[in-house]
Every structure is written in structure tokens, then in C-alpha cells.
């Protein structure tokens, strides 16, 4: 099924896509030669564009990492003359200096293209009205949502986050049909709409959620409270222009990404070797047409997987899954790689359980590792069924993680609250 798309590309078969990607990788290697920082790395590995014949040859190329961005501060990995740079964006580093990324005009065109594709995937039209309620400034979010929306031809309302009163007023007065916001902001707004019984006065039909992952429960709550036709998760990071490198479709079976703009590898973060098809690993990105700061095997440290096969929406545009965590959070338990996001996903399938959990890893006198998982019971559930519930959860975890977990159900609001995923794991093995 091919629809006449304005921005999406669904016209390449596997061989054509591979040739397109190979040409993009070779072009990127040429482009990177203009950066002394990249030249040093590439010279050291001795691979030239002429050595890239198959996509497997990419594995001969060196990795880039956040360290390279810091090292080249303030204009890291810059592969064009500074006079060709028309825009700067930055993302906050958790430690030290900000990551600053430069854009040429062509990079901004690609940035707006990837966002326009997301809007097309969400089945918006130029008649839609887009309220941009994500952050503006050095962040890429606001700029990306706005650039793409204008290119797509929608009336665009650049409001930025917060200020619930103005959000609600413009939603109502301007007849906004699509909202771009973080999931927590969208949920806050949805609750406000519900409290003030405004649903019938709004024309909102779609929400696009950026920059934080939300659970299925959250998605349904936002859709129901706002009376939406659909809502979508958008992926992206400053290094990949910003938001819009992928989005889910109405099938919600993963996020379609733009394989003509990015070559994505999924690697085991320990060995840096490819994982088996469909398995979770670290996303490593090589850009195919990025001018100012091309990426060569950039380690995102985000964990996800490529989804094999074709989406039930009918498009052949490839997909990756949601981000399930950071590679730094990976637990190696009895030779199996486990990510906290996977544990959370299994817990989420039990309505009797709350969302809070804690993992403790210990090693016994026989050098055998043990994993204890404490999960809070849902506040409405009775403690009578705890043993049965623990058994059921352990079974499902075993099936999904291929690891034996000792499960303990605890009372609601007894585990420590934390916003950091890594704090949910205590590892006392030594």
C-alpha cells in the first residue's frame, strides 16, 4: 500500500535502501574529512570511503561518543567552515559542559523534513492547527516542532511549555487540532480540561508527545480525557537534528524511523558487536546527509531494538522500539543482559501492582548471583493474594528475561521514591 506522500518515503526496496545508505555513509566519511577531530580518528583506523562496499563494512569505522562532543567544545566535530553555520542548538549534559551542535541551512531543511514526516505519519493535514507546547530556546524541541509544522503548512502556535491558562485559552479560541507536548504536560492539560469540563469546546484531535517515554496507561488516559482520535510518541535527540527522527503510527507497533537519513546499528553495549535481529541493545547512529556535524557510529547509549517485519499499517518504513533504558543501566545477571525497562514493562502488565519497584543483586558463598525484586502492591488490591501474585510475576519475568527472579510484594508507598532509573537497582555483588 503506497499512499501519495508529500514527505514520507516508502518507495525503496531493500536493495535500493542499502545502496542509498552506502552512498550516504561514503558521503559522510568524505564530509568528516573537513573536521580535524574526525580526520584524526579516521586516519588512525585507516578506512576510506572506498573501503565501504557493504553495510557490514561500517563495523570497521571508529565509534564517536559524547566525549568527542565535549572534547571539541564549543564546535565539536564541525565539518563545514564556521561561516556555513546558520544555527546552534545545545542539550544539557548531565556532567560538565553542554553539548553544542551546529547546523547548516541544509541541516535545518532536513530537520524540518523529519518533523514534517512525523506529522504526515500522524495523519495530520495542512488544515490542522498545531499548538507547540514544548520547550523553546537552545533546546531543539520547540524549534523542530515549529519548523516542521510551518513546512507542513499548518497554522502554528509557538507557545512553549507551562502557563496552563494561556494553553487552554488558545486551545479553545484558536481551534487547535494538534498539540505537541511532553507526556506529563499533556496529561496535566488533559486533567485540567476534564476538571473544567472543556472537552466539548475543543477541536483537539491529536497529541504528539516528545522527549519522554510514556506508558500505555498514560497514553490511554491522555486520549480519553481529551477525546482524541490518536496520540503518538516522537523520538529524537539533538545529535540527530532534534525531535522527529522516528514516530509511531496508528498501529502503535513501534516507531517508524527515516532509514534514508540514518543508518542504525543495535550493538551489545559490552562487546560492541551486533545483537541478534530483534534483540535489545544500544542504538548506534551514522547519519547519511548531515553536513555541519555528521555522526559516525555515534553511541547514543539508548537501548532499543529494531523490529523485524512489516508494520500492520502497511508501510515498509522500518521501525525501532521505544527506548527501554540507558546502556549504563544494564544489569548482567548470570550471563544474561537485563534492562530495568524490561522489568518495568512486565510489572506494567499486572493491574494488581503499582509502578514502584526495587531490584537487589547479591552473590552467595558459592559465587552464584541472586536477584530480588520488590514490587509495591496497587493501593486498591488486597494482600491476601500476594503469594500467588509473586509466583505469577516471577513466571512471567522468567519467560521474558530468561532469568530467575525472587519476587516479593510489598505494601503501597513503602519503597523509596526516585526519579532516576538507575537508583532502582542495588548491586552488592563483588
Binding mask 194-233 for Zn ion (x = CB under 5 A): ----------------------------------------
The C-alpha atoms of residue 303 and residue 337 are separated, in whole angstroms, by 12
Name the residue nearer to Zn ion (CB basis): 34 or 123: 123
Nearer to Zn ion, 226 or 249 (CB): 249
Residue 307 interacts with Zn ion (CB under 5 A): yes or no:
no
CB-nearer residue toward Zn ion: 85 or 249: 249
Sign of the C-alpha dihedral computed for residues 34, 38, 40 and 45 taken in this order: negative
Compute CA 349 distance to the chain's CA centroid, rounded to the nearest angstrom: 21
Min CB(4)–Zn ion separation in Å: 17
Q: Segment near Zn ion (CB under 5 A), from 200-208, 290-298, 309-317, 393-401?
A: 309-317
Which of 85, 283, 311, 371 touches Zn ion (CB under 5 A)?
311
Stretch that binds Zn ion, among 61-69, 249-257, 370-378, 394-402 (CB under 5 A): 249-257
Minimum CB separation of residue 245 from Zn ion in Å reads 16
Q: Least distance from C-beta 425 to Zn ion, angstroms? A: 33
Judged by CB, which is closer to Zn ion: 312, or 387?
Answer: 312
User: What is the CA 299 to chain-centroid distance, rounded?
Assistant: 14
Chosen residue from 213, 289, 313, 344 binding Zn ion by CB under 5 A: 313
Query: What is the closest distance, in whole angstroms, from the C-beta atom of residue 313 to Zn ion in the complex?
Result: 3
Q: Give Cα separations from 82 to 66, 146, 225 (angstroms).
A: 21, 25, 48
| Burial category of 407 from C-beta neighbours within 10 Å (exposed 0-12, middle 13-18, buried 19 and up) | buried
Out of 249, 284, 403, 425, the only residue in the binding site for Zn ion (CB under 5 A) is: 249
Helix or strand run (H / E) with residue 112: helix 105-121
First to last CA, the chain: 55
**DSSP code of residue 126:** T
Measured between alpha carbons, how far is 62 from 65 in angstroms, rounded to an integer?
A: 10
> Counting runs of H as helices and runs of E as strands, what totals does the chain give?
10, 21
Question: Cβ of residue 187: shortest distance to Zn ion, in angstroms?
Answer: 24
Give me the least distance between CB of 311 and Zn ion, in Å please.
3
| 243, 145 Cβ separation under 8 angstroms | yes
DSSP result, 401-415:
HSS--EEEEE-TT-S
Nearer to Zn ion among residue 100 and residue 249 (C-beta) = 249
Nearer to Zn ion, 17 or 185 (CB): 17
CB nearer Zn ion, residue 26 or residue 252:
252
CA 197 → CA 169, 179, 321, distances in Å?
Answer: 14, 18, 35
How near is the Cβ of 152 to Zn ion at its closest, in Å? Answer: 19
Taking contact as CB under 5 A, which single stretch among the options 287-295, 303-311, 338-346, 380-388 is the one that binds Zn ion?
303-311
Ordered alpha helix ranges (H), 196-323: 216-226
Stretch that binds Zn ion, among 7-15, 232-240, 248-256, 276-284 (CB under 5 A): 248-256
Q: Which is nearer to Zn ion, 91 or 316 (CB)?
A: 316
CA torsion angle for 164, 166, 169, 171 (degrees, to 10)?
-80
Decide: 207 and 221 in contact? Cβ < 8 Å.
no
388 lines the binding site for Zn ion (CB under 5 A): no
- Name the residue nearer to Zn ion (CB basis): 155 or 313: 313
Interface residue list for Zn ion (CB under 5 A): 249, 251, 311, 313
Amino acid at each position: 500500500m503506497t499512499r501519495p506522500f508529500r514527505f514520507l518515503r516508502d518507495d525503496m526496496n531493500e536493495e535500493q535502501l542499502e545502496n542509498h545508505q552506502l552512498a550516504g555513509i561514503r558521503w559522510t566519511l568524505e564530509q568528516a574529512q573537513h573536521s580535524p577531530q574526525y580526520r584524526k580518528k579516521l586516519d588512525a583506523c585507516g578506512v576510506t570511503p572506498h573501503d565501504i562496499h557493504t553495510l557490514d563494512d561500517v563495523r570497521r569505522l571508529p565509534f564517536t561518543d559524547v566525549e568527542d562532543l565535549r572534547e571539541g567544545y564549543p564546535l565539536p566535530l564541525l565539518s563545514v567552515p564556521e561561516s556555513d553555520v546558520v544555527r546552534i542548538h545545545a542539550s544539557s549534559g548531565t556532567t560538565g559542559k553542554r553539548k553544542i551542535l551546529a547546523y547548516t541551512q541544509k541541516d535545518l531543511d532536513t530537520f524540518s523534513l523529519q518533523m514534517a514526516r512525523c506529522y504526515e505519519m500522524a495523519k495530520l493535514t495542512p488544515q490542522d492547527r498545531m499548538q507547540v507546547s514544548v520547550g523553546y530556546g537552545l533546546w531543539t524541541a520547540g524549534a523542530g516542532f515549529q519548523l516542521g509544522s510551518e513546512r507542513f503548512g499548518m497554522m502554528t502556535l509557538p507557545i512553549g511549555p507551562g502557563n496552563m491558562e494561556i494553553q487552554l485559552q488558545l486551545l479553545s479560541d484558536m481551534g487547535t487540532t494538534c498539540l505537541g507536548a511532553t507526556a506529563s504536560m499533556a496529561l496535566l492539560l488533559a486533567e485540567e480540561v476534564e476538571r473544567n469540563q472543556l472537552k466539548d469546546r475543543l477541536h483537539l484531535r491529536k497529541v504528539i508527545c516528545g522527549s519522554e517515554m510514556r506508558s500505555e496507561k498514560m497514553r490511554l488516559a491522555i486520549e480519553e480525557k481529551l477525546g482524541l482520535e490518536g496520540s503518538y510518541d516522537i523520538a529524537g535527540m539533538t545529535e540527530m537534528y532534534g525531535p522527529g527522527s522516528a514516530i509511531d503510527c496508528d498501529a502503535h507497533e513501534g516507531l517508524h524511523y527515516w532509514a534514508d537519513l540514518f543508518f542504525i546499528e543495535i550493538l551489545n553495549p559490552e562487546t560492541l558487536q551486533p545483537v541478534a535481529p530483534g534483540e535489545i541493545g544500544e542504538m548506534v547512529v551514522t547519519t547519511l546527509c548531515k553536513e555541519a556535524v555528521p555522526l559516525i557510529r555515534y553511541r547514543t547509549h539508548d537501548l532499543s531494538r529494531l523490529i523485524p517485519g512489516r508494520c500492520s499499517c502497511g508501510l515498509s518504513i522500518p521501525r525501532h522500539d521505544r527506548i527501554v533504558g540507558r546502556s549504563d543501566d544494564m544489569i548482567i545477571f548470570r550471563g544474561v543482559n537485563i534492562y530495568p525497562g524490561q522489568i518495568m514493562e512486565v510489572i506494567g502488565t499486572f493491574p494488581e501492582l503499582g509502578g514502584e519497584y526495587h531490584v537487589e543483586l547479591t552473590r552467595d558463598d558459592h559465587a552464584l548471583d541472586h536477584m530480588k525484586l520488590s514490587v509495591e502492591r496497587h493501593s486498591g488490591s488486597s494482600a491476601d493474594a500476594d503469594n500467588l501474585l509473586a509466583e505469577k510475576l516471577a513466571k512471567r519475568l522468567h519467560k521474558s528475561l530468561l532469568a530467575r527472579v525472587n519476587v516479593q510484594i510489598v505494601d503501597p508507598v513503602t519503597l523509596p521514591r526516585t526519579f532516576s532509573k538507575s537508583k532502582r537497582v542495588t548491586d552488592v555483588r563483588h
